[in-house]
Chains A and B, each alone.
Chain A
Amino acid sequence: MDKPALAAWLGAEITGMALLSGGAIQQNWALDVLAGGQAQRWVLRTDAAATLAVSRSRAEEFHLLRAAHAAGVTVPEPLRLCTDRSVIGAPFFIMRRVDGLAAAHRVVRSETLAGGRQALVAALGRELARIHSIVPPRADLPFLGEPASDPCRRFVAAMRVLLDAGRLPRPMLEWGLRQLEISAPPPAATVLCHNDFRTGNYMATEAGISGILDWEFAAWGDPHEDIGWLCARCWRFGGPGEVGGVGPRAPFVAAYEAASGRRVDPARVAWWEIAAAIRWAVVAIDQAERHISGAEPSLELALTGHIVPELELDVMRAVMARAA
């Protein structure tokens, strides 16, 4: 990282800089600066070496954060975007640094975070309702494209394309996709879906949610898609609650419905929960393949492949429970 070039672009003195988290896709740097004589705590977010083709660019993520911030979603306030690669070698943006706990295994074990389990799931419901208040068309979000006419069928088709590109047949995932296909609900509302709204991707303090993070998969879709992802068994991290491992569904749904004016259809949520296990399995297969192919040797990627069997079991259990 070229600190003098960065300081010049920022027009600020950098007093501290440390890598916060080296995700597989993005890097986050904690940045302490003196700007206009004021001490500021920022985060610099940029691309890591390997960027998933499906994930949004830093510039797009910056515009999504701005839209979310304006809609009242609790996000780290986006400050400045730099698309000039000559500054640090890759596009990046600056946002305010927020305090809080994100680590999923600790979030699901806490009885007091954000005021306790019931309060935390209610707050998640309100945050998601604000995200879903963003609806097409939006001139500031042109990169989201036209909404799909049928998000459920689009999902099934997209997963099949990815499975066909894989090395191995995946009969349990095929089984789940076929069951989803023949039970797909008709298209409903179209909203901005965060598409990775789960425990681990928000920060919270004892006082409440302090930031919804990781917007790189956001897209137009069915609001139930985000609810299914949040509630899916695979994102509970061993926690006791059906909503993100944190708490029960009723206060989450009540808060979401009150804040959004939308009704939550449990059958649609169940559909998207099966879809969530399939989507995570397909991503996990792809991540493991980066290790297996030799492109990016990594123990973490290697172990991600071994998540696939329990996702397949989630799919089989859920499909058979629905049929029974």
Chain B
Amino acid sequence: MSWDGHEAPDTRALLEIARTTLMEAVIPALTGDARFKALMVANAMAIARREDGPAAAAVHAAVRELGDVAALCAAIRAGAHDPGSADHDRIAASLRALAEARCRISAPKALG
């Protein structure tokens, strides 16, 4: 097996075990503002871990499908993709797919 020079465990594995430890061994002992802040830390770690996974590939694919996003925004604003236009339904579906992919990283509960 080739060696890439990095010591394991990697980013994902470290974030996972660190977050598990925070949730199971630290947060139960906290109250008030410290507990609130520790829960925010746990949330940030969960988002960071999901950034380094399959959801990120789904986001990139959904963005690629949209092409030039700044130009798309200008066209949407100008009414070029209004209901009834040729690619209205396709673009609506692509934007929804992108929003869902972004939620898989930032807010997976929103998909439920």
Contact = CB atoms under 8 A, between A and B. Distances in A.
B99 A169 contact: no
A203 B37 CA distance: 23
Given A178-B79, A313-B103, A169 B73 contact: yes
Contacts of A169: 69-70, 72-73
A175 B43 contact: no
**Contact-size category for A:** 20 to 34
Interface residues of B, number: 31
Contacts of B82: 178, 182
Contact of A171 (B41, B66, B105): B66
A300 B77 contact: no
Contact of A317 (B66, B77, B96, B102): B96
A306 B107 contact: yes
Contacts, number: 82
Interface of A is mostly: helix
Interface in A267-324: 299-300, 302-303, 306-310, 312-317, 319-320, 323
B44 A302 contact: yes
Nearest to A178: B76
Contact of B100 (A302, A308, A313): A313
8 contacts: A299-B44, A303-B47, A306-B107, A312-B102, A313-B100, A320-B92, A320-B96, A323-B83
Given A172-B98, A306-B106, 20 more contacts: A160-B77, A169-B72, A171-B69, A171-B95, A172-B99, A175-B95, A178-B79, A178-B82, A299-B41, A306-B47, A309-B105, A309-B106, A310-B103, A310-B106, A312-B99, A313-B99, A313-B102, A314-B110, A316-B96, A319-B92
Interface of A: 160, 169-172, 174-175, 177-178, 182, 299-300, 302-303, 306-310, 312-317, 319-320, 323
Q: Which 6 A-B pairs have the closest CB atoms?
A: A309-B102, A310-B110, A306-B106, A310-B107, A313-B99, A309-B106
